[in-house]
């Protein structure tokens, strides 16, 4: 499926499961859901997400190198300073997520990032740093991406590192089914938001 279809599906499923009760919760749910809908496709070469994680990985390496430089020449421990402000777990989680995403971007398409082990690693990292409010929408969004791609004719390496690919061989990634699902998910999201805005719980 195309990226926009994955994102719409991810948001629809996450909204239904999380049932955000205010604007901040809605923004967090939709933001994390969009991330979960897109991350599995970092393994698409020359994709926007692939280039993004290349830049993030470069930035991460630069930050680590600079921290060693600052500690050595200026006797300032950036690690201890970060620890004082009690968001070390967030930082570690983000850094690990970028590293794993970078590894995923270098794997073959629909292998590691579309596998059970990939799903567990990505979500485990986010759970460590951010807890259930991020873990749940990311997990269901990443999972929805994998399930949608199972309908594709090219298949996915669900049990990576095994190269055996599974598919239902029902549609192309950018064919009529993809267009239909994108429109359907978009309409359902609009309907959902209208219903909860007028106080109807689903």
Residue 23: what pLDDT?
A: 78
Residue 124: what pLDDT?
A: 94
Residue 1: what pLDDT?
A: 73
- Compute the half-sphere exposure of residue 48: CA atoms within 13 Å on the CB side of its CA: 5
Q: How far is CA 86 from the centre of its chain?
A: 25
Query: 100: left (phi > 0), else alpha (psi -120 to 50), else beta?
Result: alpha
Do residues 37 and 6 touch, judged by C-beta distance below 8 A? yes
In the chain, where are the structural domains located? 3-197
Q: Reduced to 3 states, what is the DSSP secondary structure of residue 119?
A: helix
6 contact partners, CB below 8 Å, separation of at least 6:
37, 38, 40, 41, 144, 145, 148
pTM of the model: 0.80
3-state helix, strand, coil in the chain (%, to 5): 75, 0, 25
Residue 81: what pLDDT?
A: 52
Both structure tokens of 50: 């692939």
Question: How high is the mean pLDDT in each 10-residue block of the chain (202 residues)?
Answer: 86 90 82 88 68 57 58 57 62 85 84 93 90 90 92 85 81 75 90 82 70
User: CB-based burial of residue 68 (10 Å sphere; 0-12 exposed, 13-18 middle, 19+ buried)?
Assistant: exposed
Q: Which neighbouring-strand residues pair with 156?
A: 166
Q: Which neighbouring-strand residues pair with 171?
A: 152
Residue 70: what pLDDT?
A: 57
């Amino acid at each position: 499926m195309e990226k926009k279809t994955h994102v719409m599906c991810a948001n629809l499923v996450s909204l239904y499961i999380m049932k955000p009760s205010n604007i901040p919760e809605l923004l967090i749910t939709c933001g994390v859901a969009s991330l979960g809908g897109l991350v599995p496709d970092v393994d698409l070469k020359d994709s926007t997400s692939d280039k993004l994680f290349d830049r993030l990985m470069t930035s991460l390496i630069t930050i680590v190198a600079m921290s060693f430089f600052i500690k050595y020449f200026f006797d300032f421990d950036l690690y201890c300073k970060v620890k004082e402000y009690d968001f070390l777990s967030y930082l570690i989680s983000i850094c690990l997520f970028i590293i794993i995403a970078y590894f995923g971007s270098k794997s073959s398409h629909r292998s590691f990032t579309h596998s059970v082990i990939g799903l567990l690693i990505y979500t485990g990292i986010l759970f460590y740093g951010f807890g259930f409010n991020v873990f749940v929408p990311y997990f269901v969004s990443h999972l929805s991406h994998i399930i949608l791609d199972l309908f594709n004719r090219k298949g996915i390496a669900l049990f990576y590192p095994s190269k055996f690919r599974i598919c239902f061989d029902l549609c192309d990634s950018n064919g009529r089914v993809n267009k239909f699902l994108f429109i359907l998910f978009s309409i359902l999201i609009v309907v959902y938001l209208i219903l909860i805005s007028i106080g109807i719980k689903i």
